[in-house]
Amino acid sequence: MIEIKDISKSYGSGESRCNVLKGISLKINDGDFAVILGASGSGKSTLMNIMSGLEKPESGQVIYNDMDITELSDKKLVEFRKENTGFIFQQYYLLPNMNVDKNVKMGADLAGNKDYKAIIDAVGLGEKLHKYPSELSGGEQQRVSVARALAKKPKILFLDEPTGALDEQTGRQVLDYICKLQKEYGFTIIMVTHNLNIAEMAKTVIKMNSGKLSEIYTNKTQKTAYEIGW
């Protein structure tokens, strides 16, 4: 379980100081599919970055299995990320000089995962193992980044607007792959989005507004990627 206690974060100083997060507390259970929903500038990405250990808060705690990761040194944080987290970004951030196989290997090697090709097959890219990112469509690139994240067998998968750069059909396809793989592997999903429809796929929805939590609720039924609007 991830527990966040009274997290605050601000950028800038003096008059230009901007309080991005104002005392946020919440809990996310293992195996949950949580969506952090909010408009641009609401602080949702900063919250995700703090939850994943990419950024440190000014105050508050992020407790993961009784360990406060805000207290960890940079070295320990790297170890934490290595053992627990996977990331998928809107911009994919694939390594341009490496083919699909090697990009996925980036995640697989960290977990000593020799069977990572099964994940490439699972995201439907088995035939494109030797293609470079520039030779793939946006949707395919995002599926490589999904495979790369899952090849390291994460306990928590963080996704930052994973469909933001994709068209509707491809976006649905990518979300469908992620959901199917979650059912198979049982990891926790924490996804940041501004798309209200995607929130219908989640179990837990965390709404944010101006650096504060405005609402947290649980969906009684979770829709599939093909059932939601776009």
Partner 1 sequence: MRLGGDGMVVGISIVSCCAVLVCTMFLNFYFDVVSIKNEITSELSMAFYNAQVSTAKVVCLVSGGCLLITSVVMLLFYIKHYIDIHKKELAILKALGYSNLKIAKNFWVFGISVLIGTATGFGGAFLLMPSFYELQNEDKILPEIAIHFHPSILFYFVVLPTVAFAAIAIFYACYKLKTPVLSLLKNDFHQSCAKAKKRSDAACNPSNRSFIADLKKNTLKSKKSLGFFIIFASFCFSAMTQMSFSMKDLSSEMMGAMILLIGLVLAFTTLFLAITTVINGNKKTIAMMRVFGYSHKQCCTAILGGYRPLSYIGFALGTVYQYALLRVMVDIVFKDMEGVPAYEFDFPMMLVSLAVFIFVYEMLMRIYSEKIKKISVKEIMLES
CB-nearer residue toward partner 1: 81 or 172: 81
CB-nearer residue toward partner 1: 85 or 204: 85
CB-nearer residue toward partner 1: 1 or 78: 78
How far is it, in rounded angstroms, from Cα 51 to Cα 41?
17
Q: Which two tokens stand for residue 125?
A: 């890219």
| 78 binding partner 1? (CB under 8 A) | yes
CB of 93 to partner 1, least distance (A): 5
Q: Which two tokens stand for residue 31?
A: 């195996």
In this structure, are residues 147 and 87 in contact, taking their beta carbons and an 8 Å threshold?
A: no
CB-nearer residue toward partner 1: 49 or 70: 49
> For tokens 């776009």, what's the residue?
230
Under rule CB under 8 A, which residues in 125-184 are in contact with partner 1? 129-135, 152
| 82 binding partner 1? (CB under 8 A) | yes
Under rule CB under 8 A, which residues in 8-67 are in contact with partner 1? 49, 54-55
| 81 binding partner 1? (CB under 8 A) | yes
> For tokens 């929805």, what's the residue?
205
Q: Which two tokens stand for residue 184?
A: 């198979």
| 96 binding partner 1? (CB under 8 A) | yes
| 91 binding partner 1? (CB under 8 A) | yes
CB of 106 to partner 1, least distance (A): 5
| 121 binding partner 1? (CB under 8 A) | no
CB of 200 to partner 1, least distance (A): 27
Torsion angle, CA of 101/103/105/109, rounded to 10 degrees?
170
- Binding region for partner 1 (CB under 8 A) out of 80-88, 176-184, 188-196, 200-208: 80-88
How far is it, in rounded angstroms, from Cα 190 to Cα 32?
8
CB-nearer residue toward partner 1: 12 or 229: 12
**Binding positions for partner 1, rule: CB under 8 A:** 49, 54-55, 75, 78-83, 85, 87, 89, 91, 93-99, 101-102, 105-110, 129-135, 152
